[in-house]
Amino acid sequence: MAFIRLRLTLQVVIATLQLVAYLPIHLNWRVGVQCFSRYTHAPMSIRVIGINHKTAPVAVREKVAFSPDALEDTLNRIKADKAALNKKNEVVILSTCNRTEIYSFANYSLDEMLDWLSHQSTLSKEEIKQHLYEYQGNEAIQHIMRVASGLDSLVLGEPQILGQLKSALKISSEYNTAGTTLKRLMQHTFSTAKKVRTQTSIGSNPVSVAYAAVNLAKQIFSQLDKKSALLIGAGETIELVGKHLKNTGIGSIVIANRSVENATRLANEIGGIGVALQEISNYLPDADIVISSTAAPVPIIGKGTVEWALKKRKHRPIFMVDIAVPRDIEEEVGDLDDIYLYTVDDLQSVIEDNIKSRQEAAEQAELMIAKEVEEFMGWLRAQDKMQLIKNYREKVSSIQQETLEKASKLLRNGSSPEEALQFLAHTLSNKLAHDATAAMNKAAHSGDHKLLEASDKIFKLSEQNTKTAHNKQTQDSSDTHNKESS
């Protein structure tokens, strides 16, 4: 019978422990960190550092941009760092012609993140800092969503950046540097960008860097039906350029790319021909328009090659647009007579007229993004609280197991069930109350009213005082009634 009583008592104690483990749900996160800092890690935050077309000229951006090999090397270094230090740090790197940004959910310092930029660049960290921006928390989330929605692009509302962000997440996931939080943020961001595009008129007009380049070509040559275009690269930007040129009725298109297969595939879609990069010099003398966008680390077209082509053309002008970062066309080419060379920075003035029609849609998009930022921040705060609760429950479970083992040992050594129960009740109450009472005592001495208020809320102490006072009043009334009856 005693053992049955002991088992029932243990079940009650365990149920009480489970109830106590839920109490931190009511705790405010910031106060909770103070109360339970011994059992939790400092919260990490979303962070963004980067440079873009607003903060740095192309001459700087091309030196900071990650080539495919540099990106692979950097992600491998981050992955090795995580494995060696057993960190849960998360990183995604975005590198395009107009921006290079690092997104992190980690405890990395700004200096560590700058190391990744300077390691693969010819610029020092101090030089990069002159053009750097940094965001944390909800500002970082807002920035990422604005980037994905095209609100921070050279061409307001352009859709290409969303695909580039998806590619950046894919690569980081392959190298295991993107974890649960950044993946969740990116998926939320992609969903937000889709809402912006479908629920506003931000993308109603076909405006992009590719469109701006073709539009400039039309302004220079007026009619393109008798002109020839040489496109270098086979990525999304060149694909868009090719489609826009086809719609203008361009005379002919040649696409040169490192992969002849990719060049031919794209050329077949737009009615052109595909050739290898090594054949550029063969087609340059016939090209009236040259638009280049590759990921090559060094220029593909040099001044000497262009001078030779101009002689072959008898100095008929060539319109050239270098969209690549780093640049595909040597800067000195622009000094040649009969050459009209533009970079991505030069396109800004071309697209300003198209931006005006998107301003109203952009204002709507900003409101939508603000709402989505708060929604994601709510999810992020919930994760912090869930971890706090998990840590607390693990602590309570540890106390429970340790105390039960000691009580069982007393029984095995001959102690009576009553003695084991007395030990169990006394030890559990002391262990569960120790940290809380010590913290409240310290708070009382230091005047930390916020912590005391949180403790009152967690342990429902005011309710207990009210209940105690009510019971005493009831008892006093009962005693008075008994005396009167006597």
- Kindly report which listed range (61-70, 196-205, 236-245) carries the lowest average pLDDT score: 196-205
Please give the Cα distance from 147 to 157 (Å, whole number): 9
Q: Listing from the earlier edge strand, what are the strands of the sheet with 318-322?
A: 273-276, 252-257, 228-232, 289-292, 318-322, 339-343
Structural element, H or E, at residue 300: none
Separation CA 192–CA 38 (nearest Å): 38
Give the confidence band of 183 by pLDDT, cuts at 50, 70, 90: very high
Domain residue spans in the chain? 2-35+387-485, 45-204, 209-347
Q: What is the pLDDT of residues 301-314, one digit of tens each?
A: 999 999 999 999 99
- Taking alpha carbons only, the member of 149, 183, 193, 146 closest to residue 50 is 146
Q: Does domain 45-204 have CATH number 3.30.460.30?
A: yes
Given a cut of 50, whether residue 72 has pLDDT beyond it is yes
For residue 4, CA distances in Å to 10, 406, 416 come to 10, 18, 13
pLDDT tens-place string over residues 400-416: 888 888 888 888 888 88
What pLDDT, on the 0 to 100 scale, is given for residue 86? 60
User: Which residues have C-beta within 8 Å of that of residue 297, sequence separation ≥ 6?
Assistant: 67, 326
Q: What are phi and psi of 390, to 5 degrees?
A: -60, -45
pLDDT mean over 161-187: 95
| Mean per-residue pLDDT, 114-141 | 93
pLDDT tens for 211-240 read 889 988 988 898 899 999 999 999 989 999
Look at 128-137, 168-177, 325-334, 446-455 and tell me which has the smallest mean pLDDT: 446-455
Rounded to an integer, the average pLDDT of 2-14 is 50
- Catalytic pick from 56, 97, 207, 344? 97
pTM of the model: 0.59
pLDDT range class, residue 430, cuts 50, 70, 90: confident
pLDDT at 110 over 80: yes
In the chain, the amino acid numbered 323 is I
Distance CA 329, CA 342 (A): 10
The pLDDT value given to residue 219:
85
Catalytic (active site) residue 35: no
Pick the CATH number of 209-347 from 3.30.420.40, 3.10.25.10, 3.40.630.30, 3.40.50.720: 3.40.50.720
Q: Is 318 exposed, middle or buried (0-12, 13-18, 19+ CB in 10 A)?
A: buried
